[in-house]
Amino acid sequence: MKRIGVLGGMSWESSVEYERVMNTAVRERLGSNHSADLIVRSYDFAQIEALQDTGGWCALAARLSADARTLESAGAEILIIATNTMHIVAPQVQAAIEIPLLHIADATVAAVRAARLDTVALLGTRYTMELPFYRERLADVGIQVLVPDEPDRSLVHDIIYRELVRGIVSPTSRAQYLSVIAALQARGAQGVVAGCTEIELLVRAEDLDCRLFPTARLHALAAVDAALSD
């Protein structure tokens, strides 16, 4: 089993889910008392959020790149960034290390293609919905990406930062998300990409009448696949 380096704690609510999925998957595949071989760098998310708010992407890239090198030096053989938004700096992080960085959007693309869908809704932070780093990865393989119009886009973003990263799961917010999703379905979305790992805490597959793509779970399972491959 290869050792997985995790840049997490962005927020720790999603990192806990990553660890749960990876450890459970390893135990199911190897049996007995096996669990994943992990090295985790967890951050004070308030510092990360402050840099995001002020457009400090260069500083964030430098911080994550330095920590990626530390994880590599500690024996990590695979690296994941346990969040969607911070894949904005994935190219800089990959350039800083020799081990492979598994991109969260690649796991999403594989799942959408396997489902044979060509149009999906993307919900996430404002950065993920508005910047091209994530949408283009899907568009490059012919998947059309729809994002909410305003004010729905701000609603989706604000619920993530005001509630979900703090572990607050509100039925009212779930209903608001489902309303946003219904509007995107009316525009042609055949499935929904939960493009922020915390969204999986709020919206579940059983809440929808279309396919949900839980990116944290997909990414974590892709990491386990890589860790257990020859």
Catalytic residues, by residue number, are: 83, 196
Helices (H) and strands (E) in the chain, counts: 10, 7
Longest distance between any two alpha carbons in the chain, whole Å: 50
Q: What would you report as the CA-atom Rg of the chain, rounded to the nearest whole angstrom? A: 17
SS3 content of the chain, % helix, strand, coil (to 5): 60, 15, 30
How far is Cα 52 from Cα 93, in angstroms, rounded to an integer? Answer: 17
- Of 40, 42, 43, 33, nearest to 4 by C-alpha is 40
Buried b / exposed e over 148-163, threshold 16 CB at 10 Å, is: beeebbebbbebbbeb
* 3-class DSSP state of 176: helix
Residue listed under structure tokens 């990626």: 68
Question: What is the DSSP track for 109-155?
Answer: HHHHHHTT-SEEEEES-HHHHHSHHHHHHHHTTT-EEE-PPTTHHHH
